[in-house]
Amino acid sequence: MMRYIARRLLLMVPTLFAIVMIIFVMVNVAPGTPGQALSSGGGERADQSANAREGYRLFKEQYHLDKPVLFNTRFLISTGRVQRELEVLAANMSRPLPGEDVARHVADTVADVLTSLVNAELLAILAEAEREEDEDRRGELLASAGGRTLVEVPSPRAPRPEQRLVFRAENRVEDWGQSIVPQLLEIAHGYLAWVSPEGERRAFVHDDRQAATRATSTPPAPGWRPDPIMTERVRHLAIQRLSVNAQRRLVVRDGERADERRIALNREIRAENQLVRGWVWEPGAPAATQADVLERWDAWYAEHSARYRRTVGRAVRDFFFDTRFAHYMGNLMPIEFRPRLRLRAPDLGTSMRFRRPVTEVIGQHWRYSVLLSVISLILSYLIAVPLGVMAAVRQNGIVWDRGVGILLFVLFSLPSFFAATVVQTYLTAAKGWDIFPVSGFDSGRALEMTTLDHTWDVILHLVLPVACLTYGSLAVLSRYARTGLLDVIRSDYIRTARAKGVPEWMVVMRHAVRNGMIPILTLLGSTLPYLIGGSIIIEYIFVIDGMGQLMLQSIMQRDYNVIMGILLLSSVLTLIGLLLSDISYALADPRIDFD
């Protein structure tokens, strides 16, 4: 038996790893933006304020939501791809550059003049028809118009991109982080946009720090002219994004304890981040200001270029370990390597909604669900197993087998939300008899009550939720108990016991029930996850702040760490429950030997 238990425990490790990976991927690829209800606008609007956007960026960085889910291929991002994303953001900018508002006014005036010239004949006919008093003459003039409509010449402005494209581009450039620092610096130096006489646009990036590449600044074809507005916007966005993406992550988070070495490193990172945060220029800044900022960035990059040097080892490390899943599994590992090798408790992370450790959040809500589930489970077995035994002993009996079976299946067919709504309506002060409280785990006045009064208050609050959780399982458990016992009653050793004159109750309770409970033991092992999972429907209807409510609210708020913590604990309890079921088989039936 011990060898079997050891094998099962070892097998749990890869099984649990596979379960965690599948659940993690499913949770992270689900629709919706994590933290969208926790930051201003949730990051759903592309035009939200800079402060809200920065807060949302730090939120994603804290919970590693800016990382890829399983594999990181950001070391393959090209300058052209970064350029295309910045062009989408530049086309969406609403703040005009110096002189751009004048150009827009001129374009609108030209469009109005062209509209008047194109429609001069039609406007003259309509004006004459309006002045004409003779109805026949007015009809002739309107008929001469021939049903023509006014032609409007649009103002020559570039259309804005769709908001979903803007939102996607903003998130991509933000999430790529330090992996695109060289590309951003290259774009800030040498981006140049061109426009053809037909309105076609092209853009190129050349390194103006090297004289050999300046030839690429020539027009792509005769007649093409530079687009100073798009050029200025993209270069401004590149330098602005560079001042954010070049910032390093802190090694010690706020409120975390650390040694002096890590604290000193944290201060150094803060100072560097504060320095590079100011190396930007406003749209339309003089060329001298832009050159000064670029000179500072060039000196900084020359000093720290080793951080961004692409090597095979760094690419392999980033591909496998710089991901959300790798960081999450690193927190779950019971071994800590820095600052020294030591054992530690697995870390389920911090709740994005409560801003507290997930273990504390789950522990706060677990007690309500555990009490409900344990009471319901005990009552289910205490009621269903004797009913199943009686149904097997009185097989085909009108009362114990058929009558009780029909009653239990009628209860089984009633949805729990329907039964909960009915009893909450007619057995509480809401509409019917004022027998039980309407909702809650207690009255919320524990400090004003004695221990006995508070215990009685909790019991009254639990009667209806426990009843709604219990009745649905009676039919299943009683059928399992009945079927298992019928198989045993027909065995030879039961007939032998009866032939020896052993009383019927002793034959059933001492010889048959023990061996007939193996199907029940199977179900008992699978009920362990039910203790932590809770009941979302019952807890929601009766306003009990248990695990079911926590899971529902975490899904609605995209609180990934809490969702993963609950599902992880449920998976562990499932594996433990299956192992306990196997062990209970051998205890119930000595003939079973796993070795």
CATH number at residue 427: 1.10.3720.10
| Contact residues for 183 (Cβ-Cβ < 8 A; gap 6+) | 77, 78, 79, 82, 83
**What confidence score (pLDDT) does residue 44 get?**
39
**Could you give the CA distance from residue 91 to residue 84 in angstroms, rounded to a whole number?**
11
Give the span between the Cα atoms of 92 and 258, in whole angstroms: 44
Cα 22 from Cα 32, distance rounded (Å):
18
Counting the structural domains of the chain, the total is 4
Residue showing tokens 């792509």: 220
Asked, for residue 595, whether it belongs to a domain, the answer is no
Indicate the SS3 state at residue 385. helix
Q: How high is the pLDDT of residue 213?
A: 41
- Residue 368 sits in the same domain as residue 509: yes
pLDDT on residue 238: 93
- How crowded is residue 65: how many other Cβ atoms within 10 Å of its Cβ? 19
Task: Compute CA distances 239 → 207, 494, 508, whole Å.
Answer: 15, 86, 83
Contact indicator for 108, 155 with CB cutoff of 8 Å: yes
How far is it, in rounded angstroms, from Cα 152 to Cα 62? 52
Q: Give the closest residue to 99 by CA, choosing from 229, 197, 238.
A: 229
In a domain, 40, yes or no: no
Rounded Cα gap, residues 19 and 572, in angstroms:
10
Cα–Cα distance, 290 to 296 (Å, whole number): 10
Q: Is 493 part of any domain?
A: yes
Q: Long-range contact list for 376-380, CB < 8 A, 24+ apart?
A: 376/466, 376/469, 376/470, 376/473, 377/527, 377/530, 377/531, 379/466, 379/470, 380/470, 380/473, 380/474, 380/477
Cα separation, 486 vs 260, whole angstroms: 71
Residue 458 placed within a domain: yes
Distance set, CA 309 to CA 80, 242, 534 (Å): 19, 17, 51
Looking at residue 85, its pLDDT comes to 93
* Residue 263 within any structural domain of the chain: no
147 SS3 class = coil
At 194 the three-state DSSP class reads strand
Domain membership flag for residue 170? yes
CA dist., res. 186 & res. 174, Å (int)? 17
Do 194 and 316 lie in a common domain? Answer: no
Q: What does each C-alpha distance from 410 to 392, 407, 476, 520 come to in angstroms?
A: 20, 5, 12, 22
Quote the CA–CA distance of 468 and 460 in Å, as a whole number: 14
Q: What is the pLDDT at residue 237?
A: 92
**Residues 423 and 555 placed together within one structural domain of the fold:** yes
Q: Are residues 405 and 553 in the same domain?
A: yes
Domain with 568, as residue range(s), is 364-588
Pairing of strands 335-336, 225-226: unpaired
CA–CA dist 389, 376 (Å, integer) = 20
Residues 112 and 190 in one domain: no
Q: Are residues 404 and 550 in the same domain?
A: yes
Q: Is 154 contained in some domain? A: no
Which single residue is written with the structure tokens 């019917």?
A: 432
The DSSP bridge pattern shows strands 225-226 and 201-205 to be unpaired
Query: Phi, psi at residue 406, to the nearest 5°?
Result: -65, -45
| CA distances for 538 relative to 245, 437, 506, angstroms | 47, 14, 40
Straight-line distance from the first to the last Cα atom of the chain, in angstroms, rounded to the nearest whole number: 6
Residues 560 and 25: their CA atoms lie apart, in Å, by 11
- Global pTM reads 0.67
- Nearest by Cα to 200 from 221, 228, 177: 221
499 to 395, 494, 495, 502: CA distances (angstroms):
20, 9, 6, 7
Identify whether residues 340 and 383 lie together within a single domain.
no
pLDDT of residue 501: 76
Residue 138 sits in the same domain as residue 217: no
> For 305-403, where are the alpha helices, taking DSSP H only?
312-321, 324-332, 358-393
Distance CA 467, CA 471 (A): 6
43: left (phi over 0), alpha (psi -120 to 50) or beta: left
Give the pLDDT score at 39. Answer: 45
Residue 117 domain-assigned (yes or no):
yes
Per-residue pLDDT of the chain (595 residues; tens, 9 = 90+): 777 778 878 888 888 888 888 888 887 777 766 655 444 443 334 344 566 667 777 777 777 788 888 899 999 999 999 999 999 998 887 666 555 566 566 666 776 777 777 777 777 777 777 777 777 777 776 677 666 676 666 665 566 788 888 888 988 998 898 999 999 999 999 898 888 877 777 887 776 555 444 445 677 778 888 888 888 889 999 999 999 999 988 877 655 666 788 788 888 988 999 999 899 998 878 889 999 999 999 999 999 988 888 889 999 999 998 898 888 888 788 777 666 677 777 778 778 788 788 888 888 888 888 888 888 888 888 888 888 878 777 777 787 777 877 888 888 788 888 888 888 877 776 666 767 777 777 777 767 777 787 788 888 888 888 888 888 778 878 777 777 777 777 777 777 777 777 777 777 776 677 667 777 777 776 677 666 665 778 888 888 888 888 888 888 888 888 888 888 888 888 888 778 777 777 766 666 666 6
Residue 35 burial (10 A CB sphere; 0-12, 13-18, 19+)? buried
Positive or negative, the CA dihedral 209, 211, 215, 218 is positive
Question: Which three-class secondary structure state does DSSP give residue 507?
Answer: helix
Do 133 and 220 belong together in one domain?
A: no
Q: Give the CA distances from residue 270 to residues 177, 274, 298, in Å, rounded to whole numbers and listed in that order.
A: 17, 6, 20
Residue 390 CA to residue 397 CA, distance in Å, equals 10
369 and 516 assigned to the same domain: yes
Per-residue pLDDT at 256:
61
Q: Is 191 helix (H, G, I), strand (E, B) or coil?
A: strand
402 with 326, same domain? no
Phi-psi category of residue 415: left, alpha or beta, with phi > 0 → left and psi -120 to 50 → alpha: beta
300 and 326 within one domain: no
